[in-house]
Amino acid sequence: MKNKNVKNNKNIKSKKKPSYERKKSLYGYGFIALWFVGMIYFFILPLIKCFRYSFYDTKPINGKMELTNFGFHNYINAFTTNTDYLQALVSVLKDTAIKTPLILIFSIFVATILNQKFRGRTFVRSVFFLPVIIATGPVIEIINGNMSSGGYAGGSEQFSSMFQTDLVSQVLEFIGVYGISDKLEMAIQAVTGQIFNLVWNSGIQILLFLSALQNISVSAKEAAQIEGATSWEFFWKVTLPYISPMILASVVYTIVDSFISTDNPVMQIVLSKASEWQHGYSAAMAWIYFAIVGIVLAIVALFVNKFVYYEVE
C-alpha cells in the first residue's frame, strides 16, 4: 500500500516541483543549519554532560571524566555540608531583589531625560553608554578596587565613601531634620553608597528604554497635548504603557545580569569548586542555582507581563 503510494507520488512529483511553501521551509533550515550544528556540539552536549556530572563524584583522568558513585549526594551536600552556599544564595536573591527595581527606575528616569532635546545631548548620551563598553572587562575590577584587599580603595569605593561619610545626615541636619530614624538614614545611605554601581550597571537598560521611548508615535503625543495632558499625566498614561514591553525585557536582563555576574558569591563558590577539580559538586550547585534563577525569572516575567501593554497590530 505504502509502496504504491510512493510510486504514484513519484510519478506526480517528477512532473511537479515541491510546493513553494515547502521549498521555503527547507531554505529556512538551510539558513539556521550552521548554528544548529554548533548549538548541538557547543551548547546542548556540554550542557547535558554538565548535568550528568552533577550526579557523580568526578575525577578527570586522561581527558575523560571518571564518574563514580551515582546519586543525589552532590545536591544534598550543597545544602547540608556547605553552609556558605545557602548563605550566598540568600544574599544573592536579596541583593537582586533590591537592585532590580532601583536600576529600573533609575534607567527609565535617565532615558526620559536623555530623550529630551537639549544642548550637548550627544555627549551626555555617549558618556552614559560608556559603562556598556568598559564594564564587561577586567578593567572594572581594578576600577572597583577589589583586585586585592590591600589598603587601597579603588575609584568606586572612594567615590562611595565621598557620599557615605555622614554626608546624608549632615545634609538632613542642614535642612533642619534632626533625629530622623536610623533605619531611614541607613536606607538613604545604602542608596547613595550604591550610586556608583547603579549608574555603572544600567547602561544597557537605558539603551533599551531610550529606543522604546523613541518608538512612541508622534500622534499619541499630539493627541495627549490636544487633550491638555500635563507631562506628569503623559508619563503615566502614555509613556509607561508604551515602554512596558521594554520594562519586561529590562527586568529579565537585569535579573540575569546580576545572577550570572562572576562576582556574585554563588558564582564564586561554583567557580572555586570547579577549580578545585570538584566538577560534579560544582555542577550540582550550578544546577540548583539555575533552577532557582529559572523559577524567579518565570515568576517575575509572569507578574510583569500582566502589566505590559501590547499595541494591537
# residues near another protein by CB under 8 A = 91
Can you tell me which of 95, 145, 224, 296 binds another protein, judged by CB under 8 A? 145
Residue type, 116: Q
Give min distance, CB of 86 to another protein, in A. Answer: 20
How many whole angstroms from its chain centre is CA 121? 27
Can you tell me which of 90, 98, 139, 177 binds another protein, judged by CB under 8 A? 139
Provide the H-helix boundaries in 215-278: 218-226, 231-234, 240-260, 265-275
125 within 8 A of 137, measured Cβ to Cβ = no
21 binds another protein (CB under 8 A): yes
Q: φ, ψ for residue 177 (rounded to 5)?
A: -100, 110
Residues 6+ apart with CB under 8 A from 108: 209, 243, 247
Can you tell me which of 17, 27, 174, 176 binds another protein, judged by CB under 8 A? 27
Number of C-alpha atoms within 13 angstroms, CB side, residue 201?
26
Residues 6+ apart with CB under 8 A from 273: 281, 282, 285
- Judged by CB, which is closer to another protein: 33, or 184? 33
Give min distance, CB of 150 to another protein, in A. Answer: 4
Q: Which of residues 35-64 bind another protein (CB under 8 A)?
A: 35-39, 41-47, 49-50, 53, 60, 63-64
Q: Which of residues 234-253 bind another protein (CB under 8 A)?
A: 245-246, 249
Give min distance, CB of 78 to another protein, in A. Answer: 15
Per-residue binder mask for another protein (CB under 8 A), 256-295, x = binder: x---x-x----x--xx--x----x---x--x---x--x--
For 177, the 3-state DSSP assignment is coil
Give min distance, CB of 224 to another protein, in A. Answer: 15
- Judged by CB, which is closer to another protein: 162, or 186? 162
For 59, the 3-state DSSP assignment is strand
Can you tell me which of 78, 89, 110, 300 binds another protein, judged by CB under 8 A? 110
Give min distance, CB of 7 to another protein, in A. Answer: 26
Can you tell me which of 4, 5, 30, 312 binds another protein, judged by CB under 8 A? 30
For 68, the 3-state DSSP assignment is strand
34 binds another protein (CB under 8 A): yes
Q: φ, ψ for residue 137 (rounded to 5)?
A: -95, 180
DSSP code of residue 66: E
Can you tell me which of 31, 174, 178, 310 binds another protein, judged by CB under 8 A? 31
297 binds another protein (CB under 8 A): yes
Among residues 251, 269, 305, the alpha carbon closest in space to that of 77 is found at 269
29 binds another protein (CB under 8 A): yes
Q: Which of residues 166-195 bind another protein (CB under 8 A)?
A: 195
In Å, how far are 22, 23, 50, 196 from 165, measured between CA atoms? 69, 69, 47, 15
- Judged by CB, which is closer to another protein: 31, or 174? 31
Q: Count each helix (H run) and each strand (E run) in the chain, helices first.
A: 17, 2
Separation of alpha carbons 200 and 132, rounded Å: 8
147 binds another protein (CB under 8 A): yes
How many whole angstroms from its chain centre is CA 171? 35
Give min distance, CB of 64 to another protein, in A. Answer: 8
